[in-house]
Structure 1
Amino acid sequence: MLILGIDTTQSNAQIALLQNKQKLAVCEFFLERMESLPALLHDLFQERGILPAELGGIGFVKGPGNYTGIRAGLMVVKTLTSLYNLPLWGFTRLETALYSLRHLNTAISPVFNVRQGQFYTAWGQWQKDQAQYLLEPDTWALEAWISKLEQSVEGSLPFIISNEPLDINLPWLPLGNMALAVAELSAEKIAAQQTAPEVLPFYIRPAVQIPQGKKTSPPP
């Protein structure tokens, strides 16, 4: 089964092809214009000698992140799934990160910069085929989130996971390729013949002029 994974939540789009649980391609492109995504996919398929009709499904990282990237990426994957009658699975960046690091066998804290000094984060672990949270997903100033973890965790703090350098006096781990992770996760769902829910974009609007040390909540 051939699965396409796409992450357009950042300016660097990630694309992965997974065939029978084996990596066929993992790519990262700087997308100055999101309109170039279909052409990049076309070139990738052509290089690998693949037709879109050969796909068995698509996995998509639905947010949060770059508003334009998420919207454009979702339009592309929904077009493909409609044209070729493919299952489409969508997962948040938190869900995808927890799944990708499930081998750590411990609760972790991925943090994603949503600008204006705010980070979308949680403390959780991928268990029993889903993300399970000890501290629910929310939007925090980074220092306030570290303080919250210190208050909530007995013993050592959980691994902090990020896709960019963090200005903290704590060890942190880099995040792997999200497109590959979402392809692997979607392949599991499709193989289990689970029904995919409708994929909608997941946006976070950072609050403006947040007092130091305060947290904000995602919009309803």
Structure 2
Amino acid sequence: MKILSISTATSDLSVALNDDEQIISETVEPNKRNHSVDLDPDIDRLLQEQGLSLKDIDRFAVAIGPGSYTGLRVGLTTAKMFASILGKDLVGISTLQALAQNFAGQEALVVPALDARNQNFFAGAYRQAEAVIPDGHYALSELLDQLKDQGDKKFIFLGSNFSKYMEMIKDQLADRELIFASGDENLLHAGQVGRLAAKAAPIDPDQAVPNYLRRTQAEYDWHKKTGQAFAPDSEYVEEV
């Protein structure tokens, strides 16, 4: 099964082609940022290098969140369009689960995270690709309390800006072996998205929405203006 996978969830842009769980080709461009401009040319280039077209793809996979609000929409919209027009499978994969796969096979609890500012993180904890602490929006102190409750003796922290709080983490987990990823170990790879997508269940392209893990400012503004309860995305429409 040929899988084209996309990650625009972070400032890094990555696309990959998998044959089931095997990565055939992958590009990762750190700090690309202009995903709406660069994504389609990267996909086209990858397919041309492999002598393929979009019609040859069996399944489209995308990092569905958490991550940059704009970035997630760019990647998901592209994948939804391809899957819907071509009648192919669409799979959404947790950004954090894909990030944790950078340390697949390690005998450790892997803690992937994206900085949400002010000592808050979008984070989870994974043991052999299985979520031990579910993806969520956590204050760092809350996340560390949950990690302390785990029986693991070794933790691997990766993603963005854990290094800023290294001393705090070491103080809270003083009796554990701690590893902080560095350099390319912190990059999100579309190939890992594809590997996970090979065994994941497809989703309906028309119903797929980003998994932000917290409400957007637009939702808070809507709630403040209307007084209405928070609702599904499709209900945030105002008649003018």
Q: What is the rounded CA distance, in whole Å, between the counterparts of 1:42 and 1:11 in structure 2?
A: 20
> How many residues are aligned here?
200
Partner of 1:45 in structure 2?
47
RMSD, aligned CA: 2.9
Unaligned runs of 5+ in 2: 171-178, 218-229, 232-240
- Aligned pair partner of 1:138 in 136, 139, 147: 136
* Structure with greater Cα Rg: 2
Q: In the superposition, relative to structure 1, how do residues 80 and 92 fare at CA in structure 2: closer, same or farther (>3 Å)?
A: same
Q: Secondary structure at the match of 1:196?
A: coil
Residues 167-188 of structure 1 show CA distances to partners (whole Å, capped at 9, x for unaligned) of 2134313345431111011123
Partner of 2:213 in structure 1?
204
Partner of 2:220 in structure 1?
none
Task: Tell me whether 1:67 sits opposite 2:76 in the alignment.
Answer: no
Normalising by structure 1, we get a TM-score of 0.76
Residues 69-94 of structure 1 show CA distances to partners (whole Å, capped at 9, x for unaligned) of 11111111111112222111101122
Task: Tell me whether 1:97 sits opposite 2:96 in the alignment.
Answer: no
Partner of 1:7 in structure 2?
7
Residue type of the alignment partner of 2:139: A
Q: What is the rounded CA distance, in whole Å, between the counterparts of 1:64 and 1:143 in structure 2?
A: 20
Higher helix share: 2
Residue type of the alignment partner of 2:113: V
Q: What is the rounded CA distance, in whole Å, between the counterparts of 1:154 and 1:188 in structure 2?
A: 28
Q: In the superposition, relative to structure 1, how do residues 86 and 163 fare at CA in structure 2: closer, same or farther (>3 Å)?
A: farther
Partner of 1:109 in structure 2?
111
Q: What fraction of aligned residue pairs are identical, expressed as a percent?
A: 20
Check conservation: 2:89, 2:203, Cα contact below 8 A. no
Which stretch has the larger CA shift, 78-87 or 163-172? 163-172
Check conservation: 1:63, 1:202, Cα contact below 8 A. yes
Normalising by structure 2, we get a TM-score of 0.70
Which stretch has the larger CA shift, 64-73 or 167-176? 167-176
Q: In the superposition, relative to structure 1, how do residues 47 and 148 fare at CA in structure 2: closer, same or farther (>3 Å)?
A: same
Q: What is the rounded CA distance, in whole Å, between the counterparts of 1:33 and 1:184 in structure 2?
A: 22
Check conservation: 2:136, 2:213, Cα contact below 8 A. no
Which stretch has the larger CA shift, 25-34 or 79-88? 25-34
- Runs of at least 4 residues off by over 4 Å: none
